[in-house]
Amino acid sequence: MSLDDRNYSEKRDFIRMQVQSKAILEHAGQQSPARCLDLSSSGMQLEVSAELSVGDRVRVLIPSEHSSLKGLEADAEVVRVGEGTKGSLILGLAILDLR
């Protein structure tokens, strides 16, 4: 199937990688454990138990499992909030800055 054959909602400017990685979400001076579900060069999707709203600015830390590689640290904005499992939220984040 070519890209032109897909539904418009499936088209993206950047490919998303499924990662399923532990992450830390920082917002308003608080840190919350999170799980990064997918990642692209312009955004990511996180599952968290923290209460956040569209427009909130956050920092996301994804530690590296390898001592020789630096982890990911990004400033991001919440652009979508959905319901996850067991009271968690699924956040769509737009990456504003990579550190």
- Domain positions in the chain are 16-98
pTM, 2 dp: 0.79
Instruction: Fold for 16-98, please state it.
Output: Thrombin, subunit H (2.40.10)
Per-residue pLDDT of the chain (99 residues; tens, 9 = 90+): 444 444 444 445 556 667 778 999 999 999 999 999 999 889 999 999 999 999 999 999 999 888 888 889 999 999 999 999 888 999 999 999 998
Give dist(CA 75, CA 36) in Å, integer: 14
- The Cα–Cα gap between 56 and 9 comes to 24
Angle (CA) 79-74-62 rounded to 5° is 105
Placement of tokens 């800055």 in the chain: 97
